[in-house]
Amino acid sequence: MSHTLNHSDPNHVAQQYSSTQGIQHEEPLLFEYHHDAPESIQLPGVEGALSADLTRFSRSTPANIPSLSEPETVRHFVRMSQWNHGIETGFYPLGSCTMKYNPRVNEKVANLPGLAHIHPDQPEDSVQGVLKLLYETQGWLGEIVGLPYVTLQPAAGAHGELTGLMMIRACLDARGEHQRRTVLVPDSAHGTNPASAALCGMHTIELKSGADGRIDLDELKAHLNHETAALMMTNPNTAGAFESDVKEICQLVHDAGGLVYGDGANLNALVGVARPGDMGIDCLHINVHKTFSTPHGGGGPGAGPVAVNATLKDYLPVPHIVKDADAYHLKTCSDTSIGSVLGSIGQSGVLIRANAYIAAYGRQNLHKIAEDAVLNANYVLHRLKDAYHVPFDGICKHECLLTDAIQNKHGIKTLDIAKRLIDLGFHPMTIYFPLIVHGAMLIEPTETESRATLDSFCDAMLEIATQCQAGETELLHQAPVKPFRRRLDETQAARKPVLAWPT
Ligand SMILES: *Cc1c(COP(=O)(O)O)cnc(C)c1O
């Protein structure tokens, strides 16, 4: 069991019910409320006799239905909702995820009835407003990344990867190069990259990163050949480092007859400052829920528009929004398109929030997103670099990478540091990613955090480093000690999940 209540001892359970941290309440499972009370829910009896067929199914024991009143039920769910952490509760330094504040204006706009209450199958002339807004978004995204042809359809970054690779494959097939089925993926890449390549029927080859955490040109050259379909690259990469050889890398891939797919999850470091299209990348997905602020904790919702250059534009999915002299239309067919990857035009609510975020900054100020995000990450790096091991030298982009190498000497691991952060009031950073670094801790503050917030986070990290030094090993191994739920046996929970309430 992944929770700590002792079911055999009702007094113990009763004690747990009334346990609080201030006015934040411990909350048992619904089934644990009044678990020995007679059933309070009275179901009406069945009228008439049951047919013989149904009698076989009649219960011999009462149904195990929780006995709760309406206010108890409401409190149960609201109390648990108060245990959630979100960007509106506190700092959320998850690296690679870009957990930035979602301004209220985004919600206001996305909830306008004319945008929120329409149906995907409404006639075009009744949805000209939303088509205009999405057409504008398409154009802005294309301009921001320097790749002018954009599909809004994919539902997330990973889905954008698949869509982009399908376009690349269609393009290579049209050139008669059916043997090009290999995708080169650096070992620092996000796991979705090789997964998307496999889903697209491609074979992946992992490129070993150089000592500086960047793509190694010799390693790349050694693997480029007539079977190369594409290189998937993330720039800045997941170690927070800018791939400064990006132009040469793209040239090498193009000379070998392949195309370059850009994983745009780290666009936050470049937006308004540099454009992947200008660096030689052919195709890029944009995680608008990251860079352009839609909240996406817990796995959704998202959108992963894909922007391409002229080489790939004929393969864009349909429907696609086009404009003629006096109206916006959905172009629904094309001989060369890869087809449709999602119903209708995409996740319009997420795309509208992205439009609002971009518009709020404006063309002249978009660069402040990247500049402030990079400054914040370097501030954190600077404050922590003596207490924690920094695997790659130099300034970072929008996220900074540390490891637990110093704390290892005291028997403390990344997991212990992350758990202890919870006791000190912070959501942990991303841990054990990227895989190329042992005991990785990836911290991404984003542009929305103040210096005071960054300072208190850094103070907490420094306090943990001091606790390690002082030999408080036991405490660090037990952390978190403050929340209602303590450290879980995550391996056990994953391997042997308890999915039903034991009766
Ligand atoms: C988030 C992320 C992805 C996947 O994007 P989703 O929108 O979560 O599907 C891919 N690559 C990197 C580097 C990421 O951070």
Query: Could you tell me the distance, in angstroms and rounded to a whole number, from the CA of residue 85 to the centre of ligand 1?
Result: 21
Please tell me if the CB atom of residue 268 comes closer than 6 angstroms to any atom of ligand 1. Answer: no
Range with the largest mean pLDDT of 37-51, 68-82, 456-470:
456-470
Rounded to whole angstroms, the Cα distance separating 479 from 487 reads: 7
Rounded to whole angstroms, the Cα distance separating 88 from 94 reads: 14
Query: Could you tell me the distance, in angstroms and rounded to a whole number, from the CA of residue 295 to the centre of ligand 1?
Result: 14
Query: Could you tell me the distance, in angstroms and rounded to a whole number, from the CA of residue 124 to the centre of ligand 1?
Result: 33
Residues 342 and 410 in one domain: no
DSSP-assigned letter for residue 354: H
Is 196 within the bounds of a domain? yes
Which range, of 78-92, 137-151, 207-221, 399-413, averages the lowest pLDDT?
78-92
Please tell me if the CB atom of residue 137 comes closer than 6 angstroms to any atom of ligand 1. Answer: no
Is 82 within the bounds of a domain? no
Residue written as tokens 């087809």? 339
Model pLDDT, residue 38: 59
* Cα Rg of the chain (Å, integer): 26
Q: Are the C-beta atoms of residues 280 and 250 closer than 8 Å to each other?
A: yes
Q: Which atom of ligand 1 is nearest to the CA of 234?
A: 13
Residue written as tokens 């330094």? 93
Average pLDDT over residues 267-274: 98
Residues 405 and 431 in one domain: yes
Residues 297 and 165 in one domain: yes
The residue contributing the CA closest to ligand 1 atom 6 is 157
With a cut of 80, say whether residue 45 has pLDDT above it: no
Is 267 within the bounds of a domain? yes
Q: What is the pLDDT of residues 179-197, one digit of tens each?
A: 999 999 999 999 999 999 9
Which range, of 158-172, 251-265, 297-311, 343-357, averages the lowest pLDDT?
297-311
With a cut of 90, say whether residue 64 has pLDDT above it: no
Burial tier of 63 (Cβ tally within 10 Å: 0-12, 13-18, 19+): exposed
Rounded to whole angstroms, the Cα distance separating 483 from 406 reads: 27
Q: Which atom of ligand 1 is nearest to the CA of 156?
A: 7
Residue 503's pLDDT band (boundaries 50, 70, 90)? low
Which range, of 124-138, 439-453, 479-493, averages the lowest pLDDT?
479-493
The amino acid at 46 = V
Average pLDDT over residues 153-167: 97
Residues 351 and 453 in one domain: no
Residue 333 sits in which domain range? 106-361
Residues 357 and 374 in one domain: no
Please tell me if the CB atom of residue 190 comes closer than 6 angstroms to any atom of ligand 1. Answer: yes
Q: Which atom of ligand 1 is nearest to the CA of 287?
A: 7
Residue 7's pLDDT band (boundaries 50, 70, 90)? very low
Neighbours of 427 (CB within 10 A): 19
CATH number at residue 353: 3.40.640.10
Model pLDDT, residue 40: 62
Q: Are strands 228-234 and 400-403 parallel, antiparallel or unpaired?
A: unpaired
Residues 309 and 381 in one domain: no
* pTM (two decimals): 0.90
Please tell me if the CB atom of residue 303 comes closer than 6 angstroms to any atom of ligand 1. Answer: no
Residue written as tokens 């040239």? 251
Alpha helices (runs of H) in 390-450, residue ranges in sequence order: 405-408, 414-423
Please tell me if the CB atom of residue 265 comes closer than 6 angstroms to any atom of ligand 1. Answer: yes
Query: Could you tell me the distance, in angstroms and rounded to a whole number, from the CA of residue 340 to the centre of ligand 1?
Result: 21
- ∠417-90-109 over CA atoms, to 5°? 140
The amino acid at 333 = C
Pocket test for ligand 1, best of 98, 190, 199, 429 (most atoms within 8 A of CB): 190
Is 501 within the bounds of a domain? no
Please tell me if the CB atom of residue 399 comes closer than 6 angstroms to any atom of ligand 1. Answer: no
With a cut of 60, say whether residue 19 has pLDDT above it: yes
Pocket test for ligand 1, best of 100, 165, 192, 270 (most atoms within 8 A of CB): 192
Residues 331 and 466 in one domain: no
The dihedral over CA atoms of 166, 171, 173, 177, expressed in degrees to the nearest 10, equals -120
Residues 214 and 330 in one domain: yes
Please tell me if the CB atom of residue 280 comes closer than 6 angstroms to any atom of ligand 1. Answer: no
Is 34 within the bounds of a domain? no
DSSP-assigned letter for residue 44: P
Is 1 within the bounds of a domain? no
| Structural domains in the chain (count) | 2
Residues 355 and 379 in one domain: no
Q: Which atom of ligand 1 is nearest to the CA of 159?
A: 9
H or E segment and range at residue 361: helix 348-361
Is 463 within the bounds of a domain? yes
Please tell me if the CB atom of residue 476 comes closer than 6 angstroms to any atom of ligand 1. Answer: no
Which range, of 100-109, 423-432, 461-470, 481-490, averages the lowest pLDDT?
481-490
Choose between 70 and 1: higher pLDDT. Answer: 70
Asked which of 312, 338, 361 is the last residue of a domain, the reply is 361
Residues 436 and 295 in one domain: no
Residues in CB range of 136: below 8 A, 6 or more apart: 355
Query: Could you tell me the distance, in angstroms and rounded to a whole number, from the CA of residue 191 to the centre of ligand 1?
Result: 9
Helices 192-199/157-174 angle, 10° precision:
40
Give which of 4, 62, 71, 6 is closest to 37, Cα–Cα: 62
The rounded percent of the chain whose pLDDT value lies above 70 is: 94
Residues 352 and 379 in one domain: no
Is 138 within the bounds of a domain? yes
With a cut of 80, say whether residue 4 has pLDDT above it: no
Average pLDDT over residues 7-25: 56
Q: Tell me the pLDDT of the chain averaged across its residues.
A: 92
Model pLDDT, residue 6: 36
Which range, of 48-57, 89-98, 278-287, averages the lowest pLDDT?
48-57
Asked which of 327, 361, 395 is the last residue of a domain, the reply is 361
Model pLDDT, residue 18: 57
With a cut of 90, say whether residue 453 has pLDDT above it: yes
Rounded to whole angstroms, the Cα distance separating 299 from 99 reads: 12
Please tell me if the CB atom of residue 302 comes closer than 6 angstroms to any atom of ligand 1. Answer: yes
Please tell me if the CB atom of residue 233 comes closer than 6 angstroms to any atom of ligand 1. Answer: no
Residues 337 and 371 in one domain: no
Residue written as tokens 């690349």? 168
H or E segment and range at residue 206: strand 203-207
